[in-house]
Structure 1
Amino acid sequence: MADNSLARSWYARPDARAWRCEPAPADVRAFHRSLPGHAPTPLTELPSLAAEFGVGRVFVKDESCRLGLPAFKALGASWAVHRALAERAAQGAEPGPVTLVAATDGNHGRAVARMAHRHGHAAHVFVPRGVHPRAVAAIAAEGARVTEVAGPYDEAVRLAAEAATAPGTLLIQDTGLPGYERIPRWIVEGYSTLCAETDEQLASAGVTEGPDLVAVPVGVGSLAQAVVTHYRGSPRGHAPALLSVEPEAAPCVLRSLTAGRLVSVTTGETVMAGLNCGTPSGIAWPHLLAGLDAAIAVTDDECARAGADLAASGVSSGPCGAAALAGLRAAVTGTDAADRRMALGLRPDSVVVLISTEGTAANPGRPAAC
């Protein structure tokens, strides 16, 4: 039964750690290793945060440079494009270029455009209002045609789906829609590489049983679905708590969890543009409902503080990536913090992983490809 009694925008499910599902396929990791420029992203330990939060160790999975792009999204886009093009060829489609279509708040569209170019295809990306002009320009710089939409993300998703009904097009979308599930599932599978790397890096740091808590930023919920699938998808003697973090301006997963059913919310303005989504992915929803231990929403000010703290520790993290730290801080401090710590199973020796999903828009310390 969900605990919705706490003062903050918060949800907790006491039995989530007992739920199990099918794991991601094993061949995803081998595929990513075969790609030019592939390398595991850093897992950085931040003792200052462990001291602040009263836990044993805190690590940040730093996705500020993944396959030459400043976000984790290339993992899902590369695997999904690979699978979709192979399936298209196997079905006897006419040879020649196609147009890959996507809606995006920024990073997914850029990743699809990069993969389209790599395979010799075109890309058409729909961008909702509120996306920073630099993000729009970065997508266009990948060679994509960009259509800016006056409405929110959900409207961009609708228009992209309509555009992809034209001959010679292929929709590469991370939002599961009725009748459109296979490609979003491949995108989620692609994200499993991030989780597998994290486990290996923790083991190298002496954490052999895995993390006790993983905090993940949430837009439509595809990355959170991948995290749930990884940590609930195989027999484990030790299952971590999983915390999703969203903007107060767009808490679609939190509101859906609280209602116990999939709902849409009217989104507002937020610096966490990549999380500014009004409706959870339909294919992610069953995993989020059953497998998330908790969900919390944070403000832009809380996110800005988290980003500054990460920067001071040498981690490049944009607003969406910093949301994980903001969510952890909101959960373990303030009113009812003791109840929330209990819901997350946090102890003085707990190991926490924060997934920082993107780098800053401009960071001289990053490789030029990012």
Structure 2
Amino acid sequence: MAEYWFARSAARSWTCAPAPARVRAFHASLPGYAPTPLTELPSLAAELDVGRVFVKDESARLGLPAFKVLGAAWAVHRTLAERAAAIGTYAAGPVTLVTATDGNHGRAVARTARVFGLRAHVFVPEGVHPEAARAIAAEGAELTPVAGHYDDAVRLAAEAAAAPDAVLVQDTAWPGYERVPGWIVEGYSTLCAEIDSQLAAAAVTGPDLVAVPVGVGSLAQAVVTHYRSRPAQRRAPALLAVEPGAAACVTQSLLRGERVSVTTGGTAMAGLNCGTPSSIAWPRLRDGLDAAVSVTDAAAFRAAGDLAALGVSAGPCGAASLAGARAALTGHDATERRTALGIGPASTVVLLNTEGAAANPATLPG
């Protein structure tokens, strides 16, 4: 599987508007809310030849093994609030939340539906591990298997959500469907706000590099929005997107200079196995990312094992950030890539571990 690499020099001078400040207050009001850990790992700093490495550990977020519930909860809250304003109550009748998923998002929507007393209908494409599908069903959701890839499941979910009592809660956008995905991205801003507070408590002014795993690009959009909307006097970090080589839709779009779809292959990084960047994410990724790199399943599994040995639970999707940092900062092209990212021996690196091992029970074939 070929490795793809993209870098540009102008991203750190680009700016955008921030996410709404009230998002974190909403999450703080939810039962069981607490900031997820930001764990420092000195041995990784030594390996990557940087000053400090921190892992934002999303392996236990509001009772689920991934960050996705931040976006799902905020988007459903906003959707129900608008519905209440339109019809005078939170729900005039039974409401079904409909979505497609490659794992974590579907479970987050199903959990949110249960919390809000709603129903959930989740479309699951090929390649999602049966245990991940069972976890979604255990939340009380209706499950529909799809004989196709993620994009096929999204299309079928959108068709099902045309029913009058249904609401599509999808974490990818396309022309004509952008408000709800936009709210999902806003929900992810809480993760970045927590990092700011946690780095400040560790006497760090801010990261020099943030590595983020990418599927359709919604979390990366939130990361770009956060770090490209900060006051001018604050240091702008380099932002690195990491994808499976079998589904490098964002990297391929960056290389071609336009949003494109790619044919995806099999990958253990099921949550990143997406063939088309979100329409609302793409402009921010195009303008705000410094670099993008693809990694192999073997590299992701190695990273997951290394994180586990250091006390951090990570599935292959979450560990992709470490695999991507290794690809960017070590190896035969390291000097050129480190220069492009502005990374030196005193730099601070933040890796986003987006899921715990329990979220993705896949194992290497053979």
Aligned residues between the structures: 356
1:11 aligns with 2:9: no
User: How far 1:234 sits from its partner (Å)?
Assistant: 2.4
Map 1:103-122 to 2 at 5 A.
103-122=100-119
Amino acid at match of 2:211: A
TM-score w.r.t. the length of structure 2 is 0.96
Find the aligned partners of 1:171 and 1:335 in 2 and give their Cα distance.
45
What does the per-residue CA deviation read over 1:270-313, in whole Å, with 9 as the maximum and x for residues that have no partner? 01000000000000000000000000000000001100110000
The answer on whether the counterparts of 1:100 and 1:122 sit within 8 Å (CA) in structure 2 is yes
User: How far 1:332 sits from its partner (Å)?
Assistant: 1.3
1:216 aligns with 2:212: yes
Residue among 334, 337, 345 paired with 2:334: 337
Partner of 1:78: 73
Find the aligned partners of 2:263 and 2:106 in 1 and give their Cα distance.
22
User: How far 1:255 sits from its partner (Å)?
Assistant: 0.2
1:28 aligns with 2:57: no
SS of aligned partner of 1:150 = coil
Partner of 2:240: 243
RMSD of the alignment, in Å?
Answer: 1.2
TM-score w.r.t. the length of structure 1 is 0.95
Amino acid at match of 2:85: A
User: How far 1:8 sits from its partner (Å)?
Assistant: 4.6
Amino acid at match of 2:70: L
Find the aligned partners of 1:117 and 1:300 in 2 and give their Cα distance.
34
SS of aligned partner of 1:59 = strand
Partner of 2:322: 325
Map 1:108-257 to 2 at 5 A.
108-207=105-204, 209-237=205-233, 238-257=235-254
SS of aligned partner of 1:91 = helix
SS of aligned partner of 2:358 = coil
Partner of 2:364: none
Amino acid at match of 2:162: T
Query: Where do 5+ consecutive residues of structure 2 fail to align?
Result: 361-366
User: How far 1:362 sits from its partner (Å)?
Assistant: 7.5
The answer on whether the counterparts of 1:11 and 1:295 sit within 8 Å (CA) in structure 2 is yes
1:291 aligns with 2:292: no
User: How far 1:245 sits from its partner (Å)?
Assistant: 0.1
Find the aligned partners of 1:79 and 1:304 in 2 and give their Cα distance.
31
The answer on whether the counterparts of 2:3 and 2:295 sit within 8 Å (CA) in structure 1 is no
Moved more, 188-197 or 335-344: 335-344
Change (3 A) 1:223 1:362: closer
SS of aligned partner of 1:301 = helix
Find the aligned partners of 1:13 and 1:362 in 2 and give their Cα distance.
33
Find the aligned partners of 1:99 and 1:198 in 2 and give their Cα distance.
34
Amino acid at match of 1:84: T
The answer on whether the counterparts of 2:93 and 2:165 sit within 8 Å (CA) in structure 1 is no
After the TM superposition, which parts of structure 1 deviate over 6 Å for at least 4 consecutive aligned residues?
Answer: none
SS of aligned partner of 2:199 = helix
Identity %: 73
1:281 aligns with 2:309: no
Map 1:82-93 to 2 at 5 A.
82-92=77-87
Partner of 2:363: none
Amino acid at match of 1:264: S
Amino acid at match of 1:216: V
Query: Where do 5+ consecutive residues of structure 1 fail to align?
Result: 1-6, 364-370
The answer on whether the counterparts of 1:306 and 1:322 sit within 8 Å (CA) in structure 2 is yes
Partner of 1:3: none
What does the per-residue CA deviation read over 1:16-73, in whole Å, with 9 as the maximum and x for residues that have no partner? 0000000000000000000000000000000000001110000000000001100000
Amino acid at match of 1:163: A
User: How far 1:103 sits from its partner (Å)?
Assistant: 0.5
SS of aligned partner of 1:214 = strand
Amino acid at match of 2:166: T
Residue among 8, 32, 35 paired with 1:37: 32
Map 1:60-79 to 2 at 5 A.
60-79=55-74
What does the per-residue CA deviation read over 1:99-153, in whole Å, with 9 as the maximum and x for residues that have no partner? 0000100000000000111111100000110000000000000000010101000
The answer on whether the counterparts of 2:35 and 2:194 sit within 8 Å (CA) in structure 1 is yes
